Structures are given as C-alpha cells and as structure tokens.
Amino acid sequence: MSRGKGTSDVARIKLRWNGEVESSEEQQRLKRRVILREAGRAFNERGFHNVSLDEVALELGISKTVFYYYFRNKNDVLLSCVEIGFELAEEALRAAETQEGTGLDRIATFVRTYVEGINSELGTCAVFSELNSLHPDDLKKVRKRQRMFGRRVMKLVTQGIADGSVAVEDVKSAAGWIISPPLMMPRVPEFWRDRSGAQLATWYADFARRALMPPRG
C-alpha cells in the first residue's frame, strides 16, 4: 500500500534529509543516497511511471534545483538505483569468492550477504523490477552485467557440485533460485516485519544450504 503524503509524513522525511546529511562533515555521496532511497521506495510502491521527480523532491523537502544538482533526469535516477543493486551483488560475490571451505559454504556466504544487503535501507533500489523503463543503451549494458553476475553465481554452484557439497542437476536453474527469491523480500514486508535483515539473511542462507546439499543417508 502506498504511503500517504500528509503533512506529518512530509515533515518527517524533511527531518530525515536535514538530520542525516545536512551537516558540514557529510559527503555529497550521502545526499545522493538519501534521494535514491526515497526514489527507490516510491518507484516500488507506486510504479516508475506513476512517480515524478518533483514528488520525490517534495517528499524529501528539497527544491527541484537541489534535486537536479544530483541527478540529470529520471533515467539517471533509475540507473543509479540499478547501480546500488549491482554494488550489493558485487559485495556478496566478493565475500563468497574469498570464502574458504566448500562450494556450498561459499553459496551460503553469498546468500547471507546478499539478503542482508537487500534488506538494508537501500534495498528497495536493488529490487526495482521496471528495468525496461531504462534508456535502451543503458538497458543493454545492465542486461550484460546481469548475465555476468549470473555466471559468477553459477560458478559457485559448479564448484559445489565438483567438491560434492552441492547436489543439483541444473546449474542455471539453481543459480536462478539462489538469486531471485530474496528480491521479493522488500516487496512483501508484512511477511518479514518480525525479523531483522540479519535474521532473514541467516535464515535464508541456512534454507539455501539445506536445499542444495546432498541427501543424507
């Protein structure tokens, strides 16, 4: 359900902007992140084409001039949201690829780190689904990066099969199963509101481990 735009809500978001990033020691990068957090939330709640940048600026209590100082246009905002998703994925992959142990251990590390990132403050950017709204040239680059990301996850699965810690027949499908379900978590918060991001991450990593390991006995 979309959040209302009452005076108290707008005031709260204004306070969020001022309180988090207006002090002199804060970096401009953090201001961009606050904008992206609100834009990602609005895009996911109401749909990319149903949200104007003017609305996001209003909700943050900033002027359009300030907004356009950080982002050129709506495509720029969307592309930056997508980049957040890639940053979270890269962080999880680096953690997994440097993890000692079996392929299954590395998959569990990836899942735990990825799910925790997706359920962080900027997670709504990572789960944005309307990629076809991107400029065609940008979409082509994003799809290429997604394929590279998928291949790296498939490599983790292949390593697990090779060392006997993973028992699956279809590597590609297994990789898709590992990646896709966590992306739904921020979209259905009513299922998870009694658990923290860290608790969800640990739970899903354990679930993935038990689902992929060879049968006992």
Instruction: Give the pLDDT confidence of 157-174 residue by residue, as tens digits.
Output: 999 999 999 999 999 999
Backbone angles phi, psi at 123, to 5 degrees: -60, -30
Place 143 in a pLDDT band, splitting at 50, 70 and 90: very high
Whether 82 contacts 142, CB under 8 Å: yes
Q: What is the pLDDT of residue 97?
A: 96
Q: What is the pLDDT of residue 26?
A: 62
Backbone angles phi, psi at 66, to 5 degrees: -65, -45
Q: How far apart are CA 31 and CA 29, in angstroms?
A: 5
3-state secondary structure of 32: helix
Average pLDDT over residues 135-159: 96
Place 99 in a pLDDT band, splitting at 50, 70 and 90: very high
Per-residue b/e over 41-78, b at no fewer than 16 CB within 10 Å? bbbbeeebeebebeebbbbbbbeeeebeebbeebeebb
Which domains are seen in the chain, by residue range? 7-71 (1.10.10.60), 81-212 (1.10.357.10)
